Chains A and B, each alone.
Chain A
Amino acid sequence: MRDFVELWVYLSATPLFGLTATLVTYLLAHAASLRLGQPPWANPVLWTVLVLAALLMASGTPYPTYFSGAQFIHFLLGPAVVALAWPLWQRRGRLRRQGGALLAAALAGGSAAAGSAVAIGWALGLPADVLHSLAPKSVTAPVAMGIAEQLGGIPALAAVFAVLTGLVGAVSAKYLFDALSITSPEVRGFALGTASHGIGAARAMQVHPDAGAYAGLALGLQVALASLLLPLAPLVLRLF
């Protein structure tokens, strides 16, 4: 028993633990989701995060120890943002034809999500640094962290809000779209990518290839728009 405890203390302190636990848990959650027919509630990211969080808390492993291994996966978010140029470039013809509608929808969705998040948070009496971390929540996590920092929010908190937003969209969007009788996979995918970034896009890809492509497009547009409009955001936020 003592040997086992020593072994655990050694293993849980190496980067190997965080990396292995993340990959294996995700693959198990993904396999389970496939087995269940990929219903929205069986979202692999949701269950991986819940299982790993429970594991860390039960074993008393500090988050920095876990992250020393998980950072190798986290690092890939940067190249993944650059890689979004590929789905955009592949659909450049369609982009040019539908450019106006796509741009208007991306602007409407992005500003409605950010604006309503800050307004609801403000109405409910959340503190300013939390509000400033809520603003960029529809943008994919690594970009949201950069934006929150410039707005005076807390980058780590903004990243968590972005992940939660992605999960809310991935789990509930189907019911909202059904209620609004929005049936086109292109429209559903584009909205998911706009309001729920990469996690929403991953869900859209499971459902329909067209939905996935439009979600990737929306994600890229949202990143570019949020970054370009960022200098205006502090002016608006000063109102709250």
Chain B
Amino acid sequence: MSTLHGFAWLLLCQSAGEVLVRLAHLPLPGPVLGMLMMAGLLAWSPVRAPVGAAADALLEHLSLLFVPVGVGVITHLALLSQFGARILAALVLSTWVGLAAAALVFRALQRPAG
């Protein structure tokens, strides 16, 4: 029951985010504004247990949620057969650059603080 309450809170924040983004023409996706609103809402203790239960359940299976979009690769086969190797090179190299940059900067700045 608690998980269901938490899920309702998540949907309410997402809906509020979507409405605000459209009304105020903000350059943010609705769920992102919803996340920021949820971060503020968590200061109110009654929502913590249900939201925590729902969030843990959703995030535990986060990778499953990417499958439908991933299968969408079959709709871009024409583009990929034309540019596939170049796209793959850009994706792989830039991911390594990003991983290395984030890891090296975090490690460098973490040391002095202990």
Contacts and interface: CB of A to CB of B under 8 A. Distances in A.
Interface in B72-113: 72-76, 79, 83, 86-87, 89-107, 109-110, 113
B105 A104 contact: yes
Contacts, number: 305
B105 A48 contact: no
B59 to A, nearest CB: 6
Contact of A108 (B69, B86, B105): B105
- For the residues of B in contact with A, the DSSP-based class is helix
B24 interface: no
Contacts of A22: 64, 67-68, 71
B19 interface: no
Contacts of B34: 78, 81-82
Contact of A81 (B31, B73, B99): B31
A110 B4 CA distance: 34
A166 interface: yes
B35 A45 contact: no
Interface string A165-197: 111110011001100101010111011101110
A77 B98 contact: no
Contacts of A198: 62-63, 65-66
A22 to B, nearest CB: 5
A101 B69 contact: no
B68 A120 contact: no
Given A79-B58, A163-B66, A156 B72 contact: yes
Contacts of A220: 35
B92 to A, nearest CB: 5
Contact of B75 (A49, A63, A89, A190): A63
Contacts of B67: 22, 25-26, 45, 48-49, 52, 70, 73
A42 interface: no
Contacts of B51: 83, 85-86
Given A159-B72, A164-B91, A113 B101 contact: yes
A67 B74 CA distance: 12
A82 B13 contact: yes
Contacts of A74: 65, 68-69
A88 B31 CA distance: 15
Contacts of A31: none
Contact of A231 (B27, B63, B102): B27
A173 B101 CA distance: 13
B36 interface: yes
6 contacts: A49-B67, A83-B51, A90-B52, A130-B79, A163-B66, A228-B28
Interface of A: 18, 22-23, 25-26, 44-45, 48-49, 52-53, 56-57, 63, 66-67, 70-71, 73-74, 76-90, 97-98, 100-102, 104-106, 108-110, 112-114, 116-117, 120-121, 124-127, 130, 134, 137-138, 141-143, 146-147, 150, 156-157, 159-169, 172-173, 176-177, 180, 182, 184, 186-188, 190-192, 194-196, 198-199, 201-202, 216, 218, 220, 223-224, 227-228, 230-231
